[in-house]
């Protein structure tokens, strides 16, 4: 059973009727319901909880953390960012969604500004599967369409992905690296672009399948932890 924590700042839904209409219980609850329970044990955490809901105990019992944030990036305490970063380096998977590209944790893991072009114009997004053999692409068609989304366009200021799984084309002409993976320490990071708060993207079957696949991919492998530092020889070293 993969233990998943869905983190959402949960601010838009409280402040904007347009968002609350789409996600009345919050984006985190929509994701929790959409992910389902087939092989997953899913809990949620939000910005306004003590320690943002990401206590040492919560993170110690999280295999994969899903992160959605937008208007509250600066409200996330640096100590919590360091805590999450340490867990990723130890092997916890991290899935960063949509505007989480500007979160403190994603920028820390990438080491870049993570900026991009953007536009809100209710335009069509076509997502292309460019690495169909990748586990995150399992069961996903060659391409699928989101009728309305926010545009993100290149250049996306990220380090070159270790693996590129999806790219997007937008009705206005831009393209974007929409599904990217990286390896950081013992952990795996997956960035997936769709998910503007005023659109019902997290009810889309293909989007939810990508996220479920991402959870399975990012979950800890169970491999032995690396041993570092001064080390005694495994074999006899003969005097020379």
pLDDT for position 224: 87
Q: 53 is written with which tokens?
A: 């809901």
Q: What is the pLDDT of residues 116-144, one digit of tens each?
A: 999 999 999 999 999 999 999 999 999 99
Q: What pTM did the predictor assign?
A: 0.97
- Domain positions in the chain are 2-218
CATH code at 2-218: 3.40.50.880
pLDDT for position 84: 98
Give the number of other CB atoms < 10 A from CB of residue 89. 13
Mean pLDDT for all residues in the chain: 97
pLDDT for position 223: 86
Mean pLDDT (whole number) for 100-106? 98
Q: Is the pLDDT of residue 58 over 90?
A: yes
Per the CB < 8 A criterion, the answer to whether 167 and 128 are in contact is yes
Q: Is the pLDDT of residue 37 over 90?
A: no
Task: Match 């399975």 to its residue by tokens.
Answer: 216
Q: How confident is the model at residue 225 (pLDDT cuts 50, 70, 90)?
A: confident
Indicate the SS3 state at residue 212: helix
């Amino acid at each position: 059973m993969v233990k998943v924590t869905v983190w959402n700042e949960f601010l838009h839904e409280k402040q904007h009727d347009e968002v609350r209409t789409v996600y009345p219980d919050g984006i985190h609850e929509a994701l929790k319901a959409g992910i389902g329970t087939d092989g997953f044990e899913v809990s949620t955490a939000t910005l306004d909880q003590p320690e943002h809901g990401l206590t040492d105990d919560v993170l110690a019992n999280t295999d994969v953390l899903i992160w959605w944030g937008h208007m509250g990036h600066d409200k996330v305490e640096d100590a919590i960012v360091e805590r999450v970063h340490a867990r990723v380096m130890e092997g916890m998977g991290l899935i960063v969604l949509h505007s989480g590209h500007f979160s403190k944790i994603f920028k820390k893991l990438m080491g870049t500004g993570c900026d991009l072009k953007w536009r809100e114009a209710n335009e069509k997004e076509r997502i292309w599967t460019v690495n169909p053999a990748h586990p995150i692409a399992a069961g996903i068609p060659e391409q699928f369409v989101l009728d309305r989304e926010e545009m993100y366009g290149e250049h996306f200021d990220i380090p070159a992905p270790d693996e590129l799984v999806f790219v997007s084309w937008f009705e206005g002409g831009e393209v974007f690296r929409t599904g990217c993976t990286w390896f950081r320490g013992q952990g795996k990071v997956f960035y997936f672009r769709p998910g503007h708060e005023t659109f019902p993207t997290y009810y889309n079957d293909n989007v939810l399948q990508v996220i479920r696949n991402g959870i399975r991919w990012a979950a800890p492998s169970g491999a032995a932890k690396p041993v570092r530092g001064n080390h005694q020889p495994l074999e006899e070293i003969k005097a020379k």
